[in-house]
Amino acid sequence: MVMFFEFALIGTTASGKTALANALALKFDAVILSLDSLCVYKEINIASAKVEKEILEKIAYFGVNLLSVCEHFNVGLFIDEYQKAKTFAKEKEKPLIITGGTSFYLKTMMNGLSAKIEEKPTTLSNDEIYTLCLQIDPEFKVAKNDSYRLKKWLNIYEITKELPSEFLRRTKKEGVLKELEIYELHWDKEELKKNIQKRTKLMLKQGLIEEARGLFTHFDANLKPLNSIGLKETKAYLNDEISLKELEELINTHTAQLAKRQRTFNKKFSSTPLKFSQAFEFLSKKFN
**Whole-angstrom distance, CA of residue 189 vs CA of residue 195:** 10
Cβ-based neighbour number of residue 195 at 10 Å = 19
Residues paired with 274 in a beta bridge = 185
Contact of 254 with 200, CB cutoff 8 Å = no
**Whole-angstrom distance, CA of residue 151 vs CA of residue 276:** 37
The sign of the CA dihedral 47, 118, 128, 142 is negative
- Centroid of chain to Cα 201: 22
Task: Name the binding residues.
Answer: 11-18
Task: Name the binding residues for ATP.
Answer: 11-18
Q: Which residues touch 126 (CB under 8 Å, ≥6 apart)?
A: 144, 145, 146, 147, 150
Task: Name the binding residues for substrate.
Answer: 13-18
